[in-house]
DNA sequence: ATATAAGATATGTGATCTCATATCCGTTAA
DNA sequence: TTAACGGATATGAGATCACATATCTTATAT
């Protein structure tokens, strides 16, 4: 019997394989693309087109898109047309008010939640990363840092369901925020303000001051909203509904 | 030329035909069924089974179910199993807190919105219908009246997007609330309390007192939650996750 | 009698095909 | 030159088929 003896126990090097469905991977990919600003608000998409880009058949894309339609991140603009949710001033303003309610509440709960020793450090780390990215002019990284900061904070509230709803709202407003970064000067200013407000939020959490945490997050949301509104007012006109 | 002359103008009796997709009708049907309590929390469903009941093929059902999964009304409990969202005490409690934030906010805004002369009358009408249904022991009608009252109120806030999110939350908690009506005595008591609280809410709106409206709605949500928790604690145990 | 294994059934996932129709483009007639 | 008609193309919706596998049933062996 040599070393190839099949009855002899030996080390296996096979690793478990990714068993997630194609549909799920398509969904996650589209979701990430929306949050990273790879789609413009109002941009038309087609199921077959996405399937080609993603290297799969239309079938999994259809169902991933159906989920995104349910989350209002993609909408049917006509009988046979799909598009990324467009920027509409009043609609976006409504979402901002809803976000202030929910994210403000999440921040308040996070500040009042049982102390997690690592939380403050993590928040600072995300905010520092965002700050450095802004100064380096890397707006994609700044966007990612901003997102990481917010979700670290909201996650500390200990409400998976709340986090889930907030994620959906970010998915709707993501392409709008991300595409607005094309105005570099405006967004540099915006992100610098954001970094400072995040600092206030961190202080509020450190002092377990729920009201102050809520206030800081609401200020952050509102100030970013104002910048985005200015961007869209002065540059792009929203596509017709 | 007789009366069948095709050149002679004549009255047409053809009415427009329903052009909505099967998928959309399946979705609306499932949605209504969930809100009316035709599904039990944790109940298993199959795509082919639903397709048979609805008299269609699995295809439109698949995509309608995908949307409901995105809304967390249906979930995948295993590799090849779908079920209606089950009752889980802490998860449900989290949803209750989120609903208090959002529905409280909606009520506050509704009370402070520009006066709609018909609103108070509509609210009273829904609440009276609910009250009569409770006394008649018609819990399905009472449930419908309760829903109509809440959405009439929240709709008056003038935030379609907020209404949409609240609808999604009701879709998740709908089967839980609806199935709990099986304990008649408990729910008779609950609905009677609800009718009274609704009266307080109507008064708050009539006086344009946003804080009072928020308070009334939050009390309504919380009291119904307590009744449901009691029901599930004393009767049914939630299916294992 | 019980436990294990083999076979049958059920079910979600994905691919492929068909269909209706919206959209685009070129041709033709006024 | 312009507008209207018609054909080609693109696209979402739906049906059908194929596949892998989880679950249930049944038979057999201990």
Question: What local confidence, expressed as pLDDT, does residue B9 receive?
Answer: 47
Phi, psi of B3 (to 5 degrees): -75, -10
Given a contact cutoff of 8 angstroms between Cβ atoms, the answer to whether A112 and A170 are in contact is no
**Kind of pairing, strands A81-84 and B81-84?**
unpaired
Residues of B in contact with A241 (CB under 8 A): none
What's the angle, vertex CA A80, arms to CA A79 and CA A85, rounded to 5? 90
Phi, psi of A186 (to 5 degrees): -60, -40
Question: What local confidence, expressed as pLDDT, does residue A24 receive?
Answer: 92
Interface mutation target, options A66, A106, A214, chain B, most CBs of B under 10 Å: A66
Helix residue ranges, H only, chain A: 22-35, 47-54, 58-70, 89-112, 119-135, 139-155, 160-179, 184-206, 210-234
Question: What local confidence, expressed as pLDDT, does residue A172 receive?
Answer: 93
What pLDDT band is residue A190 in, cutting at 50, 70 and 90? Answer: confident
Spatial neighbors of B89 by CB under 8 A, at least 6 apart, are: B229, B232, B233, B238
Is B62 in CB contact (< 8 Å) with chain A?
A: yes
What's the angle, vertex CA B139, arms to CA B137 and CA B141, rounded to 5? 105
Most confident range (mean pLDDT) of A88-92, A189-193, B138-142, B213-217 is: B213-217
Question: What local confidence, expressed as pLDDT, does residue A189 receive?
Answer: 84
Beta partners for residue B45, in sequence order: B82
CB of residue A78 closer than 7 A to nucleic acid strand C? yes
List the domain boundaries for chain A: 22-84, 89-234
What pLDDT band is residue A178 in, cutting at 50, 70 and 90? Answer: confident
Is B94 in CB contact (< 8 Å) with chain A?
A: yes
Asked if B66 lies within 8 A of A71 by C-beta distance, the reply is: no
Interface mutation target, options B161, B169, B218, chain A, most CBs of A under 10 Å: B161
Beta partners for residue A45, in sequence order: A82
CB of residue B46 closer than 7 A to nucleic acid strand C? yes
Q: What is the second-level CATH architecture of the domain A22-84?
A: Orthogonal Bundle (1.10)
Tell me how far apart the alpha carbons of residues B199 and A180 are, in angstroms, rounded to a whole number: 46
Inter-chain Cβ pairs, chain A and chain B, closer than 8 A: 59
CB of residue A81 closer than 7 A to nucleic acid strand C? yes
How is B164-207 classified by DSSP, letter by letter?
A: HHHHHHHHHHHHHHHHGGGSHHHHHHHHHHHHHHHHHHHHHHHT
Return the minimum-mean-pLDDT range out of A46-50, A230-234, B66-70, B82-86.
Answer: A230-234
How near does any CA of chain B get to the CA of A131, in Å? 32
Given a contact cutoff of 8 angstroms between Cβ atoms, the answer to whether A232 and A206 are in contact is no
Question: What local confidence, expressed as pLDDT, does residue B202 receive?
Answer: 98
Tell me how far apart the alpha carbons of residues B168 and B180 are, in angstroms, rounded to a whole number: 19
Tell me how far apart the alpha carbons of residues A50 and A70 are, in angstroms, rounded to a whole number: 18
Question: What local confidence, expressed as pLDDT, does residue B78 receive?
Answer: 84
Question: What local confidence, expressed as pLDDT, does residue A236 receive?
Answer: 53
Which residue in B126, B121, B171 sits closest to B145, CA to CA?
A: B126
Q: Terminal CA-to-CA distance of chain A, rounded, Å?
A: 75
Q: Is B17 helix (H, G, I), strand (E, B) or coil?
A: coil
* Widest CA span in chain B: 80
- Give the number of residues written for chain B: 241
- pLDDT single digits (tens) A95-138: 999 999 999 999 999 999 998 999 999 999 999 999 999 999 89
What pLDDT band is residue A1 in, cutting at 50, 70 and 90? Answer: very low
Share of chain A above pLDDT 70, in %: 89
How is B129-162 classified by DSSP, letter by letter?
A: HHHHHHHTT-HHHHHHHHHHHHHHHHHTT--HHH
pLDDT by residue for chain B (241 residues), tens only, comes to: 444 455 444 445 556 566 688 999 999 999 999 999 899 999 999 999 999 999 999 999 999 999 999 999 999 988 889 999 999 999 999 999 999 999 999 999 999 999 899 999 999 999 999 999 999 989 889 999 999 999 999 999 999 999 999 999 999 998 998 877 778 888 888 899 999 999 999 999 999 999 999 999 999 999 999 988 888 887 654 444 3
Select the CATH number that applies to the domain covering B89-234 from these four: 1.20.120.530, 3.20.20.70, 3.40.50.1820, 3.90.180.10: 1.20.120.530
């Amino acid at each position: 019997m040599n070393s190839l003896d099949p009855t002899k126990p030996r080390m296996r090097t096979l690793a478990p394989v990714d068993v997630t469905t194609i549909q799920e991977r398509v969904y996650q990919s589209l979701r990430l693309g929306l949050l990273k600003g790879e789609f413009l608000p109002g941009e038309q998409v087609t199921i077959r087109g996405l399937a080609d880009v993603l290297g799969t058949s239309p079938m999994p894309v259809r169902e991933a898109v159906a989920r995104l339609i349910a989350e209002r991140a993609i909408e049917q603009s006509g009988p046979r047309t799909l598009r990324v949710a467009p920027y509409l001033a009043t609609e976006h303003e409504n979402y901002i008010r809803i976000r202030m309610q929910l994210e403000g509440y999440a921040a308040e709960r996070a500040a009042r939640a049982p102390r997690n020793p690592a939380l403050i450090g993590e928040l600072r780390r995300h905010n520092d990363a965002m700050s450095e990215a802004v100064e380096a002019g890397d707006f994609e990284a700044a966007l990612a840092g901003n997102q990481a900061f917010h979700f670290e904070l909201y996650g500390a509230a200990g409400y998976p369901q709340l986090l889930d709803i907030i994620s959906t709202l970010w998915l709707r407003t993501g392409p709008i925020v991300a595409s607005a970064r094309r105005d570099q000067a405006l967004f540099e200013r915006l992100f610098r303000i954001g970094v400072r407000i995040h600092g206030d939020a961190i202080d509020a959490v450190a002092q377990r001051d729920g009201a102050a945490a809520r206030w800081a997050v609401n200020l952050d949301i509102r100030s970013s909203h104002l910048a985005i509104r200015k961007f869209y007012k002065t540059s792009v006109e929203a596509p017709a509904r």
